[in-house]
Amino acid sequence: MPTPPGAPLAYRPELNGVRAIAVWLVVVQHWATPPIMMGEMGRLVFFVLSGYLISGIVWKQQAYPGAPGPWRQRLGTFYLRRLLRIIPPYYCALALSALLPLATIREHPLWFLLPAANQLFYYLQSWGEGCGHLWTLAVDEQFYLLWPALLGLVGRRVRWLLVIGAAGLLFRVGWSLLVTPGFVLVLLPASLDLFAAGTLLRLLEKTEALAAWARGRYVLAAWAGWWLLWSVLHPLQGGNIWLVVFPTVGAGAAFLTLAWLLRNPTAARRTGLMHPALVWMGQRSFGVYLYHLVLPVFWQRVVFRLWPAGSEWREILLDPLPTLLVLTPLLILLSAASWRFVEAPLDRLKQRLRYA
């Protein structure tokens, strides 16, 4: 029986477990800078998951141009619900960053308020201190604006979604060759293959064709291929070839990972993704991501103020392990406060906004 219009999508606790692991891969990458690529795995999964969830909402609620009935009202509700979920917590993080202060946010406030941090970083060809991660949030917001119209245009045609995915790869290749490979990934078209992969998953998740591929061994093989590609291509041409290719390969690996978990709830339980601690952490993953680069800047300034230059303690406390030990509980507390006082109340308000 189809879900009636206005009904919420089914709650999948394993997806919160996925969010928790993905966000902490990013945190560890940024805090500890391990010699292997971890953070990008988290980002790839997040973008594919965004494509899956947003396409499900747009199709289920018929919130796209040309849909039967009052689609403009439903589309307005979709945008308002997205705004309530993302913008107020994001602005809280911006306010704290400006008070710290983070120079890039103080010098270019409008780019962050829009949000268009990805465009700013591309223009500057550099990351701002403590705010470089905000480019992904800007891309996500731009994706929310674009995707309903795009789905209204192409419908549920697998062929056209594959074309959109291929456009992401072609954009990275063309832009890198004709303009510059520098910061190409921060531009929205460079992530089209990731969002299209999530949309294809939503479209195909219950098909028998996908069931044959939604297996743990294929997931492991896909990520092994991604790592092998990294080891081979990352040293070449300053990593430019790797930057062009890896999102498409990662989109396939993330697609298979989510398909395997969604089609096999027992696999999610066996892997611990439904553990209450992971589900709790995944629910607060947005706050973790918002503040995870602000805290190291704060910690560095505290250490620099309390211990003079040349002090052995200064170097010890700024090493990766002490940083992780000190900042992890602080980040969890900060993300829990963001959920308790900002995100959860807004979520309750958002639930009152019913689709027409």
Q: What are 166-184's pLDDT values in tens digits?
A: 999 999 999 999 999 999 9
| Cβ(293)–Cβ(130) below 8 Å | yes
In the chain, pLDDT over 90 holds for what percent of residues? Answer: 89
pLDDT for 7: 44
| Cβ(261)–Cβ(18) below 8 Å | yes
Residues 6+ apart with CB under 8 A from 44: 194, 247, 250, 251, 253, 254
- The per-type count for the chain, helices as H runs and strands as E runs, is 19, 0
Q: In angstroms, how far is CA 136 from the centroid of its own chain?
A: 6
Neighbour tally for 123: CB within 10 Å: 12
Which of 48-57, 189-198, 308-317 comes out lowest in average pLDDT? 308-317
Condensed to tens digits (0 to 9), the pLDDT of residues 24-79 reads 999 999 999 888 889 999 999 999 999 999 999 999 999 999 999 999 999 999 99
Check pLDDT > 50 for residue 209.
Answer: yes
Closest by Cα among 290, 289, 288, 283 to 95? 290
Look over the chain and give the mean of its residue pLDDT values, rounded to a whole number: 94
pLDDT for 37: 85
Q: For residues 353 and 279, give the distance between their C-alpha atoms in angstroms, rounded to a whole number.
A: 25
Element spanning 99, H or E:
helix 71-99
Kindly state the average pLDDT of the residues 310-321. 92
Check pLDDT > 80 for residue 340.
Answer: yes
Check pLDDT > 80 for residue 356.
Answer: no
| Cβ(9)–Cβ(56) below 8 Å | yes
Q: For residues 88 and 355, give the distance between their C-alpha atoms in angstroms, rounded to a whole number.
A: 21
Kindly state the average pLDDT of the residues 208-236. 93
pLDDT for 9: 65
pLDDT for 5: 39
pLDDT band, very low/low/confident/very high, at 341 (cuts 50, 70, 90)? very high
Q: What's the pTM?
A: 0.95
Check pLDDT > 60 for residue 274.
Answer: yes
Half-sphere exposure of 210 (CA within 13 A, CB side): 20
Quick one: CA torsion of 279, 351, 133, 239, rounded to 10 degrees?
Answer: 70
Residues 6+ apart with CB under 8 A from 190: 168, 171, 172, 175, 184, 247
Condensed to tens digits (0 to 9), the pLDDT of residues 121-143 reads 999 999 999 999 999 999 999 99
DSSP state of 155: T
pLDDT for 2: 36
Which of 155-159, 195-199, 236-240, 284-288 comes out lowest in average pLDDT? 236-240
Question: What are the structural domain ranges in the chain?
Answer: 13-24+40-285
pLDDT for 236: 87
